[in-house]
Structure 1
Amino acid sequence: MRILVSGGGTGGHIYPALALINEVKKMNPDAEFLYIGTEKGLESKIVPRAGISFKTINITGFKRKLSFENVKTIARFFKGVSDSKRIIKNFKPDVVIGTGGYVCGPVVYGAAKLKVKTIIHEQNSVPGLTNKFLSKYVDRIAICFEDAKEYFPSEKVVLTGNPRAQEVLGHDGHKGKRSVGLQPSKKSVLIVGGSRGARPINDAVLEVLNQVEDKGYQFLYVTGDAHYENVMKKVKEVGNPKNVIIKPFLHNMPEVLAGVDLIVARAGATTLAEITALGLPSILIPSPYVTNNHQEKNARSLSENNAAIIRLEREFSGEQLIKDIDSILLNDHTLSEMKKASYEIGIRDAANRLYKLIKELK
C-alpha cells in the first residue's frame, strides 16, 4: 500500500498526519509513505526528522482581504497542481490524504483530477477555506467533531477522530510525573499555553503565584520557550512556591498528560483529542486569534458535555483560574464526573478508523 500525505503550516495539521503514519506502519509494516509540504513551512523540519520521504511544492495561502497577492496565489496554485500531479504520477499512491493547511489544496485537488482516491481530515469543529474547497472533489471527509458535519456533503463524511489521540494512550503516568519533579501521589494540574506559550495564561498564573503554596494540590506550569526567561524574572520577584514546578517546554507531553488530574490550556483540536482520549478534565481558554474562532467552538463541544470549563480570554484572571481549579480538584465528585464525561467524548482508535477508510477506498 502506498499513501501520499499532505498537511502543513501548523503543528495541528502536521502532527495528526505523523501520528497516522506511525500507527499505520504498526498495522501494515509494508506500507510506503510520501509527504508533500512546503519548503518554508514547519513541516519541512518536522517530517524529514521523522524519517519520512518528503517533497515540496511552492504555494501560499489566500489573504482574507482584497490583495494583488491573491492573484499571485492563484498562479502558484495552478503551478502547485502541476507539480503535485508530477509527484503523484511518480509515486503512484493508492490514496492521497490531506490533513489541512493551504499546501493540501493543490496536492489533493491534483490527485482528484488524476482519479486517485482522496481523503481530507478536518481536525476542527469549523473547517478552513482549503478543506471547504476540497470537499467538492474528494472521496471521503474524516472529521473529529460532529459539529463539522454541517459544512460538508453529508454522504462523504465519516467521524474518525484525531490520530494524535491514539499516541497518548498506554503511557506510565507515575513515570511522567516523576520525570518533571511532581509527587506521584498528589493531585496535579498542568497549566500550558501551547509550545510557544500564551501570555494571558502566563499573566494569570503570575498574578496568583504567591497565593498557592498552601493548596492541597501541585502545579506543573509550562510557560512556552518564548516566554520562559521573562516569566522567571517575575518569579524571582514573588518567589517560587514548593508546589509549583515551572518548565519552558515538555518533550514528553503524552507521558505527563497520563499522570495529571486536570489541564488548563488553549483549545486546539489536537489538545482536545489528547485530553478526551485520556478522560482528562480541562479548563479551556480558547485563543481568540484563530480563523473563524474555531477554538471556542471546539471547546464548547467539551463544556456542553460537562467535560470542561470555558473561560474566554477577556474574562480570564488569576483569581478566576484558582477558583476554577479549586472547584474541580478539591471536589472529588466534580473531578470524577468530569473525568467520566471527558472519557465518554474521547475517540481512542482514530488511526484505526482512518486506516479502515483508506483500505475501503483502495
Structure 2
Amino acid sequence: MSQTGKRIIIAGGGTGGHIFPAIAIANAIKEQSPDMQILFVGAKGKMEMEKIPQAGYDIKGLDIAGFDRSSLIKNISLPFKILKSFGQVKTIFKSFMPNAVIGVGGYSSFPVLKYAQRLGIPTFIHESNSFAGKSNMLIGKNATRVFVATEGMERFFPAEKIMVTGNPVRKSIVSSTISKAEALAYFGLDTTCKTILAVGGSLGARSINEVMAKHVHELESLHLQLIWQTGKTTAAIYVERGKSYKNVWVSDFITDMDKAFAAADVVISRSGAMSVAELCVTKKPVVFVPYPLAAEDHQTVNAKYLVDKNAALMVKDEDAQSKLFGTITMLATNVPMQEKLIQNISRYAVTNADEIIAKEVLQSIQ
C-alpha cells in the first residue's frame, strides 16, 4: 500500500446508525483533503463489510463479537476473539500506518482505538446517542476529542474533550433535490394518495412489521399507500405479505433513502440517533416506536426529547399492536397536525456535522 500522504482509519459499524455517519465523515474528509487515504475497519460478517465497499472505500474485517446478553454460554469465546482482534489490528496498523483513528461505535471500534492510543496516535470518537456506549466511555478518557450529538454528555466523557457537533447525516439526504412526484414514480406509487414510510432500522423492528402485516389490507380503503422497509430479520415473511398489494412497496432494505423521505407524507420509525437526525433534516411528521431494549432505554430518551417539544409523536413498543395503526392513520389524514410537527422538528436539523468533524480531525494531523 502506498504510504504517500496522510492516512486515517475509521473503525466501527454493526448497524446503519454507525455505518452511514462513518461514510458521511469519510466523504467530508476526502472533500477537504482529497489526497487523504482512508481505511475502514469493521467486524467480519456485519453490515459494514457490504456497505463500505459500496460507498467506494476499502475495509478490513476483524474476528470479533460483542457481549451476548441473551446467552451467557455464547460469551465463553469472547476473550479469545478480543485477543485475536488485537493481533489483527496490529497487522493492519503495521501495513497502513495511520496518522489518526476515528471510532463511530460498535464493538469493532474498541480494539482499534485502544491500540492506537497505546501507540500515541490521535484518536477521535463520535458518540451519536444521548447515552454513551460502554466501549466509547472506556476509550473516551484518553481520546483526543469526543464528538457528541447533544449537550449534557459530561457524565460520560471528560468535559474538556467534548465537542457538540450533532450527528452526520448522509449528503444524499441533506442535499436531495428529488421531487415528491419523482420519488413516488420511483416506488411505483400513486401521486393522489397519502404515503406512509415504515422503517425499523437496517435490522428491522418486529413490532412495526407485525402491525404493518396485520393492517396492510386496510390501507387501500383509507386511500393510503405504504413504503415498507422490513429490515433483514425475518424479511421474507413480510416481503411476501406486502408484495401482492399495488399500493405497497416492500423490501428488506431501502438503498435510496432520500427518495423514500421525499415520497413520504408521514413516517413510522425507531428512534435511534441517526434516524432522529435524518427525520429532523428531512422535516417529516413521525410516529416514533422506540426500541425498548436499547442501552439505558436511550431510544425513548431520543424520541421524548422531540415529543416534549411537540415535534413528533410516540407509541411505546408494548402498545404498538393496539395503538400504532390508529395513530399513523390519524396523522396521515390530519394535515394541520402534520404542518405543526414539520415546523417544530425542522428546528432541530443539523446539516454540517460531518464537515465540522472532518475539519477538527484534519487540523490535528497537519
Alignment partner, residue 287 of structure 1: 291
Deviation at 1:234, TM superposition (A): 5.3
| CA deviation vs aligned residue, 1:77-96 (integer Å, no higher than 9, x gap) | 45544543453354232321
1:299 aligns with 2:306: no
Q: Could you list the per-position Cα deviations for residues 146-166 of structure 1 after superposition, in whole angstroms to 9, with x for gaps in the alignment?
A: 354432211111122222344
Is 1:207 matched up with 2:214? Answer: yes
Aligned CA-pair RMSD: 2.9
Shift in CA distance, 266/359, structure 1 to aligned 2, threshold 3 Å: same
Matched, 1:193 2:200: yes
C-alpha separation in 1, matches of 2:240 and 2:330:
30
Query: How many angstroms does 1:311 deviate by?
Result: 0.9
Distance 1:40 1:322 in 2: 35
Write out per-residue CA displacement over residues 118-146 of structure 1, whole angstroms, 9 at most, x where no aligned residue. Answer: 10111222121110111111111111233
Give, in whole Å, the separation in 2 of the partners of 1:248 and 1:57: 29
1:173 aligns with one of 168, 176, 179: 179
Q: Structure 2 matches for 1:1-362, cutoff 5 A?
A: 1-63=6-68, 73-74=78-79, 76-78=81-83, 80-81=85-86, 83-146=88-151, 148-171=153-176, 172-174=178-180, 175-184=182-191, 186-215=193-222, 217-224=224-231, 226-227=233-234, 229-231=236-238, 240=245, 244-249=247-252, 250-317=254-321, 320-362=323-365
Distance 1:218 1:72 in 2: 47
Specify the code of the residue in structure 1 equivalent to 2:327. Answer: D
Measured at CA, do residues 89 and 234 of structure 1 come closer, stay the same or move farther in structure 2, by a change above 3 Å? Answer: closer
Alpha-carbon separation, structure 2, partners of 1:77 and 1:230: 36
- Conservation of the 8 A alpha-carbon contact between 1:34 and 1:53: yes
Following the alignment from structure 1 to structure 2, what is the Cα–Cα distance between the partners of residues 85 and 229?
40
Instruction: Please report how far the alpha carbon of residue 230 of structure 1 lies from its aligned counterpart in structure 2 after TM superposition.
Output: 3.0
Q: Does the 8 A contact of 1:173 with 1:257 survive in 2?
A: no
Q: Is the 8 A contact 1:166 1:351 kept in 2?
A: no
Change beyond 3 A, Cα 1:301–1:185: same
What 5-or-longer segments of structure 2 have no aligned partner? 1-5
Contact 1:82/1:110, CA 8 A, preserved across alignment:
no
Displacement of 1:199? 2.7
Is this contact kept in 1: 2:20–2:170, CA < 8 A? no
Alignment CA distance shift 1:340-1:72 (3 Å) = same
TM-score norm. by structure 1 comes to: 0.86
2:220 aligned counterpart, secondary structure = coil
State the TM-score, normalizing by the size of structure 2.
Answer: 0.86
8 A contact 1:165–1:277 mirrored in 2: no
Structure 1 residues 280 and 165 mapped into 2: Cα distance closer, same or farther (>3 Å)? farther
Deviation at residue 233 of structure 1 after TM alignment: 5.9
1:53-83 deviation per Cα after TM superposition (whole angstroms, max 9, x unaligned)? 3234433334559968768544554554454
Whole-Å separation in 2 of the counterparts to 1:98 and 1:184:
42
Q: Distance in 2 between matches of 1:234 and 1:356?
A: 47
Relative distance call for 1:232 and 1:142 in structure 2 (3 A) is closer
- For 1:97 and 1:140, locate their aligned partners in 2 and report how far apart those are by CA, in whole Å: 10
Structure 1 gaps, min length 5: none
**Shift of the alpha carbon at 1:277?**
1.3
SS at match of 1:316: helix
Alpha-carbon spacing, 1:221–1:62, altered in 2? closer, same or farther (3 Å): closer
Moved more, 214-223 or 330-339: 214-223
> Shift in Å at residue 358 of structure 1?
0.8
Aligned length: 357
Deviation at 1:333, TM superposition (A): 2.7
Match of 1:40, SS state, is: coil
Higher mean C-alpha displacement, 164-173 vs 270-279: 164-173
Q: CA deviation at 1:196?
A: 4.2
Shift of 1:351: 0.8
SS of structure 1 residue aligned to 2:131: coil
